[in-house]
Amino acid sequence: MQGSGQLLWKLGVGLLVLYTLGFIVFAATLPRAPAAVPHADGIVALTGGDARLDAADRLLEQNAAKRLLITGVNPGTTKEQLKDIAHGGRRFDCCADLGFVATSTHGNADEATGWVRRHGYTSIIVVTANYHMRRSINEFSADMPNVKLVAYPVDPNGIDLNGWWRDPHTLHLLNTEYAKYLASFVITRFAHSG
């Protein structure tokens, strides 16, 4: 009995060490936006910050894609209000679509999948916060395995990720996102293995 208790304790410590090392790598290697403007059939922006919407609209105005989907929009928000928030340019009126159904990253992927299929797209630029990008790409690729996904991570407003280990709020945000990423990774692997 005592031997199994020690084994469980060692296993727990080992898992904690692995989790901590994985978290450090996750936080230290957050993706960065490409220097050049990427091109794809469509752009999908996940709501959650003005920086995401601004970046997505800039890409649309630079003709990086034919259309833009903003997924996870509050049902009470109008297209005109969102255009103002996103500092929408001339193409926003004709070429930006709003998705009101998604309430989670998995929901964003489902909403984007329907939009991609309706338009017959084979490639999309995914715009979200850099700390949220890995989980988003994981969810999107699970739903759209044959669609080329181009990551366009943005730095979130008001969060200093350069010294993440010194700020308790940023440390908590990144740890929460890392745990969600791991859960998403495991769930999508089991869901698509059977």
User: How many beta carbons lie within 10 A of that of residue 37, not counting itself?
Assistant: 13
Q: Look at residues 19, 27, 23 and name the one whose alpha carbon lies nearest to residue 160.
A: 27
Which CATH class, in words, describes the domain spanning 32-158?
alpha beta
Q: Which of 144, 47, 153 is nearest to 104 (CA)?
A: 47
Helix 168-191 and helix 105-119, axial crossing angle in degrees, nearest 10:
60
Name the nearest CA neighbour of 122 among 141, 138, 146, 95: 146
pLDDT tens digit at each of 194 positions of the chain:
466 778 888 888 889 999 999 999 999 999 988 889 999 999 999 998 778 999 999 999 999 999 999 999 999 999 999 999 888 889 999 999 999 999 999 999 999 999 999 999 999 999 999 999 999 999 999 999 999 999 999 998 878 888 888 989 999 999 999 999 999 999 988 776 55
β-pair partners for 126: 44, 151
| Per-residue tokens: 78 | 């109008």
- What does pTM read for this prediction? 0.90
